[in-house]
Homo-oligomer: A and B are copies of this chain.
Amino acid sequence: MSNKISTIITVFERSPDRGRGLARDMPVRWALEEVGEPYEVRLVSFEAMKEPAHRARQPFGQIPTYERGDLVLFESGAIVFHIAEHYRRLLPDDPNARARAIAWMFSALNTVEPPIINRGVHEPWCEQRRPLVEEGIRDRLGDLSARLGDADWLEGAFSAGDLMMVSVLRRLHASGILNEYPNLHTYVRRGEARPAFKRAFDAQLAVFTAASGG
């Protein structure tokens, strides 16, 4: 670890998940911990997120952003991919295995996550809609469970694909749905047991605790 920290990420000043590590800075922190890259955080309030200074970094006024040298990047999936590629970690060397690990990253964010996010939307008509949304989630989880089987990770060794998939599946903890798929439950716990995950989790929790005067 060098004394000069050149990587900066932007995170919620006060995360709406109250430090449960479900905000989108979590996979970025986790990836940085996996590759051993120290980083600093810039805290942004909900108001500051919508200001021009932040929007210059993140066009949609969201978190996280990633800055290193003259590179400014947004989208958690893209940042995790960049970290994996830049540090030559978190992706297999074999070209075909690498392509498949990247497929799992896109799959986590574009196939598995959307119904999970929809379940978390709280609007008056959601109770009515919930059974169908949960059916969609179970379709995805059943398929993913069948593919994972008794393997530890989706594509050989732990990869950026697992990092994104575990990050997405963690959103289901409170729902109990994950318990219906024992191998997926174990898969998520296996990800959360990684020392890099724990360091990332503790770091984001510390931000929330400090913001809450804890």
B123 touches A59 (CB 8 A): no
A71 touches B59 (CB 8 A): no
For this chain, the copies found in one complex come to 2
B128 touches A106 (CB 8 A): no
Give every chain B residue within 8 A of A51 (Cβ-Cβ): none
CA distance A63 to B92 in the complex (A): 25
B59 touches A146 (CB 8 A): yes
* Chain B residue with the shortest CB-CB distance to A161: B78
B103 touches A106 (CB 8 A): no
A114 touches B114 (CB 8 A): yes
Q: Check A110 for interface membership: any CB of B closer than 8 A.
A: yes
CA distance A180 to B12 in the complex (A): 31
Give every chain B residue within 8 A of A128 (Cβ-Cβ): 125
A75 touches B103 (CB 8 A): yes
Q: Check A96 for interface membership: any CB of B closer than 8 A.
A: yes
B147 touches A59 (CB 8 A): yes
B146 touches A106 (CB 8 A): no
A144 touches B59 (CB 8 A): yes
A-to-B contact residues, CB < 8 Å:
55, 59-62, 70-71, 73-79, 81-82, 95-96, 99-100, 102-103, 105-107, 109-111, 113-114, 117-118, 123, 125, 128-129, 132, 139-140, 143-144, 146-147
What would 12 more interface pairs be, CB under 8 Å, given A62-B111, A78-B99? A59-B144, A71-B95, A71-B99, A74-B103, A74-B107, A75-B103, A75-B107, A76-B110, A106-B106, A109-B110, A114-B114, A114-B117
